Amino acid sequence: MAIIAQQCPHIKVTVVDLNEKRIADWNDDNLDNLPVFEPGLDAIVREARGRNLFFSTEVDKAIDEAEMIFISVNTPTKTYGKGKGMAADLKYIELCARQIARVSKQNKIVVEKSTLPVRTASAIKSILDHTGNDVKFEILSNPEFLAEGTAVSDLLNPDRVLIGGDITPEGNKASQDLVDIYANWVPKERILTTNVWSSELSKLTANAFLAQRVSSINAMSEICEKTGADVDEVSRAIGMDSRIGSKFLKASVGFGGSCFQKDILNLVYIAKSYGLNEVADYWEQVILMNEYQKERFTNQMITALYNTVSDKKITFFGWAFKKDTNDTRESAAIKVADNLLNEQAKISVYDPKVKANQIYADLDYLKTRKETENKSLLTVETEPYTACENSHCIAILTEWDEFKTYNWQKIYDNMLKPAVIFDGRSLLERKKMEDIGFIYYSIGSGITKE
Ligand code: UDX
């Protein structure tokens, strides 16, 4: 919405949320306090806020005034009832639709921006048509393909914008209205229009394919470690095949983020609900491989530390699910930490952007142990060198650029020996680390041979 406001000064954009604190933070004069850390976003908010971009808790008023409403609420995996652990929870979508229906007095276009299962638009339409005040609604699907950390540039220069609408004169008109907004800055040939179902399913498919690439290269990373191949070399070699392409081939300790797992589980659930068990199993394997990669990383670390990490200090560099974001949802770090805490390790975490309360919240959410135990076993440091003092092992969980520039000799000197690095992102240079004296493990190329 900030980008739409910045690129279209003639359009008034109001972002509403029930959460007063969140809206107050979006309105904070100090742009460091924006609720989302995203490179470049602060400058966009500074430019558009108060001009044609507004943040408010007056939801009914904004609905009443709007010609077009984007529903952008979360659709987490269900934690209860039918479809628990797999299906998307559409509770918040339904509440939005009911509120829009109750308040609207004029015709409106409602845009699904949240990622949704196929055929959700028909549920929204049904609610709007049956509870509304004889107002006509057109429902569009406009899935978002931005990635965190690069959101601003992804939005300014998208590979494509996808708009799904009903193939009726009214549906086509609504689609065109949304096309016209994007056309203010996106070249026309990159704006695709489809039917609603194709649009909804394309979003799940894109995320499933991207995640599948990561799981595929992660599966190869284990073969590399066993055979003496180097996964980064394999990635480079296959990525030069233009049919394969070079992106999303970086082996890692496992993908995280708010989308991949949730969307694949959702896809699996949809496939199962149509009785397509082979299709469901196929996609589920992408998730299982990802879980396995996190387990494998932890187990190798325990083996390297002489089969016990009990009372040993292990330092985590990185907690976010990827660099340049403070988002930790489904981050591999959470699972690896939980596994190590089960083995009675003492963990010290340093992440350039993630705050201590978030790290504890992520662990407490798992309910593996008491909150007081998480607090006593894991500490959060605000300075990387202190985080490594007297540590047995450093685990790199996020590929923050700054980790590459540290004084690794100084870090080595202050660690217990043998000093071990477990690089879950193959971020550092093996030779440099080994020359300093570290035992160095990197995902997809194994551990220093002694
Ligand atoms: C993803 C999709 O890319 C985006 O189009 C969609 O809108 C939302 O979901 P995001 O979750 O923000 O975006 O990040 P992404 O860059 O896709 O990374 C997801 C995870 O995969 C991260 O944990 C990342 O570290 C990991 N990853 C990515 C790898 O391990 N290897 C890779 O080669 C690429």
Give the mean pLDDT per block of 10 residues along the chain (450 residues).
98 97 97 92 97 98 97 90 89 93 94 86 87 87 94 97 96 97 98 95 96 98 97 98 98 96 94 96 98 98 97 98 95 98 98 97 97 97 98 98 98 98 98 98 92
pLDDT at 229: 97
Binding site membership of 259 for ligand 1 (Cβ less than 6 Å): yes
pLDDT of residue 247: 97
Q: Whose CA is nearest to atom 2 of ligand 1?
A: 147
Separation of CA 255 and ligand 1 centre (Å)? 7
Rounded to whole angstroms, how far apart are CA atoms 261 and 286?
A: 9
- Is 293 a pocket residue for ligand 1 (Cβ < 6 Å)? no
92 residue type, one letter:
Y
Give the pLDDT score at 208.
Answer: 98
Residue ranges with strand state E in 51-131: 53-56, 68-71, 108-112
CA atoms within 13 A on the CB side of 10: 4
Strand-pairing partners, residue 13, are 53
Query: Tokens at residue 28, please?
Result: 């904070």
Q: pLDDT at position 120, please?
A: 85
Atom 7 (ligand 1) nearest CA: 145
* Per-residue confidence (pLDDT) for residue 440, from 0 to 100: 98
Pocket flag, ligand 1, residue 320 (CB < 6 Å): no
Of 113, 142, 148, the one to substitute when testing ligand 1's pocket (max ligand atoms within 8 A of C-beta) is: 148
CB-ligand 1 contact for 145 (6 Å cutoff): yes
Whose C-alpha lies nearest to ligand 1, atom 33?
248
Ligand 1 centre to CA of 206 (Å) is: 11
Q: Quick check: pTM over 0.75?
A: yes
CA distance 194 to 121: 14
Would you say the CB of residue 276 lies under 6 angstroms from ligand 1? Answer: no
> For residues 187-205, b (16+ Cβ closer than 10 Å) or e, as one string?
eeeebebbebeebbbbbbe
Which sequence positions are flagged as catalytic?
259
CB of 384 shorter than 6 A to ligand 1: no
Rounded distance from Cα 54 to ligand 1 centre (Å): 30
Query: Looking at ligand 1, which atom is closest to the CA of residue 248?
Result: 33
Q: In Å, what is the CA distance from 333 to each residue of 94, 213, 318, 411?
A: 33, 20, 8, 21
Residue 306 Cα to ligand 1 midpoint, Å, equals: 33
Which residue owns the Cα nearest ligand 1 atom 16? 147
Residue 78, ligand 1, Cβ within 6 A: no
**pLDDT tens digits for range 400-446:** 999 999 999 999 999 999 999 999 999 999 999 999 999 999 999 99
